[in-house]
């Protein structure tokens, strides 16, 4: 990590929200569902699919979970109404996982039923390590009834074992590096090891005929993903690449022009700050690029 990137990662939590907003806005569609719809239409026209995410992770009342549940259902209805090439990403903490598991299940079942009615896929997002067991258990318990998937993180030491543990049923995962600040005891810290584990996990998933959302902006991993796609003779509909809104749009175009399907993660909402801080920690070059632009 460069000195600039390390410095940004160390101080970003102390930067005023107004300043973060200047640099983070390219990551976010906007505060409203209409912003996400507009962004998705634009991306669809460019040949990309999307997954729409309602920002907000920290709820303290059941009423807040109901708000996010109803908003997720509105996203599904908007996808159907506007005929968007999109699906829904869903956070379990938003649905009340940390308040009451029963409340969380009640909320997600309503969302899953609406998604089933409309024929829309739902991706259960992965959150920090305290949520991994519950997230994978919920995925296992509902994957036969609904068209859902979840997420695996290559920096977690447990990921290969999780793949094998879940291999007794349908496998549909987004595979990403991981972004939460986890202790070394449970997460790899070395960049090269995370990359190697990503490739190992991806090949293991392909061997098990899983559907994988190959989520990365690392061209080294894109290269190895394309190699494995050829090795296993996969058809275009057997996998997809995934990228974040606002990140390496040139690579996004290259992947699409190479004949692959690609989905862009489109977050929206007023609760943008925690998401944006994590993304800026992961990719401080967003700030560097913006500053260089101002100085030209």
pLDDT in tens, 157-184: 999 999 999 999 999 999 999 989 999 9
CA distance 33 to 142: 27
Question: pTM of the prediction?
Answer: 0.88
Any idea which residues carry the catalytic annotation? 125, 174
pLDDT in tens, 240-272: 999 999 999 999 999 999 999 999 999 999 876
Instruction: Kindly state the average pLDDT of the residues 30-43.
Output: 96
CA distance 110 to 101: 14
Q: What share of the chain is helix, strand, coil (3-state, %, to 5)?
A: 55, 15, 30
Could you say which DSSP state residue 51 is in? E
Greatest alpha-carbon pair distance for the chain in Å reads 56
Please check the confidence at residue 289 and state whether its pLDDT lies above 70: no
Domains of the chain from N-terminus onward: 1-28+272-296 (no CATH), 29-271 (3.20.20.220)
């Amino acid at each position: 990590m460069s000195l600039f990137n390390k410095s940004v990662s160390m101080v970003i939590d102390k930067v005023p929200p107004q300043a973060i907003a200047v640099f983070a806005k390219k990551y976010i569609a906007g505060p409203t569902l209409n912003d996400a719809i507009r962004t998705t239409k634009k991306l669809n026209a460019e040949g990309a699919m999307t997954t729409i995410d309602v920002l907000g992770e920290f709820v303290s009342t059941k009423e807040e979970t109901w708000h996010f549940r109803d908003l997720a259902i509105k996203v599904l209805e908007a996808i159907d109404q506007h005929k968007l090439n999109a699906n829904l990403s869903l956070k379990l903490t938003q649905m009340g996982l940390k308040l009451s598991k029963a409340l969380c299940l009640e909320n997600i079942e309503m969302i899953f039923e609406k998604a089933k009615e409309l024929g829309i896929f739902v991706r259960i997002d992965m959150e920090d390590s305290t949520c991994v067991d519950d997230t994978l258990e919920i995925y296992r318990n509902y994957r036969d009834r609904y068209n859902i998937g979840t997420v695996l993180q290559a920096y977690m030491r447990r990921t290969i074992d999780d793949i094998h543990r879940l291999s007794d049923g349908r496998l549909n995962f987004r595979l990403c590096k991981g972004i939460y600040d986890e202790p070394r005891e449970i997460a790899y810290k070395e960049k090269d090891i995370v990359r190697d584990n990503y490739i190992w996990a991806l090949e293991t998933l392909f061997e098990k005929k899983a559907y994988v959302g190959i989520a990365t902006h690392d061209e080294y991993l894109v290269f190895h993903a394309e190699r494995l796609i050829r090795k296993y003779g996969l058809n275009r509909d057997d996998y997809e690449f995934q990228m974040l809104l606002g990140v390496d749009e040139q690579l996004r175009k290259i992947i699409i022009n190479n004949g692959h399907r690609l989905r862009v993660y489109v977050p929206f909402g007023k609760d943008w700050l925690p998401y944006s801080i994590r993304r800026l920690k992961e990719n401080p070059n967003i700030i560097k690029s913006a500053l260089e632009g101002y100085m030209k």
